[in-house]
């Protein structure tokens, strides 16, 4: 029964929420609402989001100057794959603000008391597995294209930008990363906010997220591009901008869910 609850929620049968058609205007509105949430409590969310640049700097320090430097980009790019997990507390803050409840940063941890916490944990585990698969594939691709062990960061960058194996790595790595990104966006863009809002189970939440993307392919592709561009901008310089970009995107994702799925 516990496993059934994790998959389909508290009801006797799986829910099937109604999906709305959304367009670029809805994305603009969701972003505006996300910025509004951020501006209403910037100190709270910046405090919560400092973890993003800290982890980014830690990853850079761990790989820079070592023979693992070729994993720096996969690590930082792949961090976006598990971003929805870290943003769950931000969804909760937006949910509480929408209901007129207290939005102290401590309430971000109310997620741990959610009726859907087991389903959230199951979905988080799935994203972590995808992230690890991405790293393993990136490691394999680097050695498969035939680039030698990096002697230094400068040498590594030169190999990637000026050699044929380096060009192959750029093309295959970018294509593979895009594929992974599409998968993660499709299964998670609606599912995490939905699990906080309704006790529907992980399978129902993922199915609803997939249905939303299928019903709105152009709009959701545009949203993916916005997220990717914002994360790149926020990562420069030294990941500091992520302390602002991540909470804005997190709050905006909650409002996007509200526009995409009927109450």
pLDDT tens column, 22-46:
999 999 999 999 999 988 876 555 6
Q: Is the pLDDT of residue 12 over 90?
A: no
Beta bridge partners of 261: 19
pLDDT at residue 256 is higher than 60: yes
Q: Is the pLDDT of residue 10 over 80?
A: no
Q: What is d(CA 27, CA 253) in angstroms, rounded to the nearest whole number?
A: 9
User: Could you give the 3-state DSSP secondary structure of residue 19?
Assistant: strand
How far apart CA 97 and CA 34 sit, in angstroms, is: 11
Among candidates 249, 86, 73, 83, which has minimal Cα distance to 177? 73
Confidence check: pLDDT of 175 > 80: yes
Confidence of residue 9 (pLDDT cuts 50, 70, 90): low
Give the per-residue pLDDT at 235.
Answer: 78
222 or 155: which leads in pLDDT:
222
Query: Which pTM value belongs to this model?
Result: 0.86
**pLDDT band for position 1 (50/70/90)?**
very low
pLDDT band at 91 (very low <50, low <70, confident <90, very high): very high
Higher pLDDT, 154 or 261: 261
pLDDT per residue as tens digits for the range 106-121: 777 888 888 889 999 9
**Helical ranges in the chain per DSSP H:** 2-8, 24-40, 42-49, 51-63, 72-78, 83-86, 88-98, 117-144, 153-162, 164-188, 191-197, 202-215, 217-234, 242-260
Q: Looking at residues 231-246, what average pLDDT do you find? A: 79
Q: What is the mean pLDDT of the chain?
A: 85
* Per-residue buried b or exposed e for 191-223, using 16+ beta carbons within 10 Å of the residue's own CB: bbbbbbbbbbbbbbbbbbbebbbeebeebbeeb
Question: What is the distance between the alpha carbons of residues 70 and 85, in angstroms, rounded to a whole number?
Answer: 25
The pLDDT of 127-150, averaged and rounded, is 88
Residue 207 has pLDDT above 60, yes or no: yes
Using left for φ > 0, alpha for ψ between -120 and 50, and beta otherwise, residue 59 falls in alpha
């Amino acid at each position: 029964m516990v496993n059934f609850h994790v998959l389909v929620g508290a009801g006797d049968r799986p829910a099937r929420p109604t999906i709305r058609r959304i367009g670029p205007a809805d994305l603009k509105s969701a972003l505006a609402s996300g910025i509004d949430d951020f501006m209403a409590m910037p100190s709270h969310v910046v405090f919560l989001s400092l973890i993003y640049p800290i982890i980014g700097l830690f990853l850079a320090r761990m790989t820079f100057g070592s023979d693992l430097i070729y994993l720096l980009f996969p690590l930082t790019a792949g961090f976006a794959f598990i971003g929805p997990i870290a943003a769950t507390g931000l969804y909760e803050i937006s949910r509480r603000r929408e209901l007129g409840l207290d939005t102290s940063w401590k309430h971000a941890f109310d997620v741990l008391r959610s009726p859907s916490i087991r389903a959230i944990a199951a979905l988080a585990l799935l994203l972590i597995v995808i992230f690890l698969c991405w790293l393993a594939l990136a490691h394999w691709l680097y050695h498969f294209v035939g680039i030698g062990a990096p002697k230094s960061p400068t040498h590594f960058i030169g190999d990637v930008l000026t050699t044929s194996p380096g060009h192959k790595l750029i093309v295959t790595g970018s294509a593979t990363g895009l594929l992974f990104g599409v998968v993660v966006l499709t299964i998670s863009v609606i599912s995490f906010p939905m699990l906080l809002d309704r006790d529907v189970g992980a399978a129902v939440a993922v199915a609803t997220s997939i249905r939303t993307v299928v019903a709105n392919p152009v709009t959701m592709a545009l949203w993916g591009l916005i997220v990717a561009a914002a994360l790149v901008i926020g990562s420069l310089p030294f990941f500091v901008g992520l302390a602002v970009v991540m909470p804005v995107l997190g709050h905006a994702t909650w409002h996007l869910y509200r526009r995409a799925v009927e109450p």
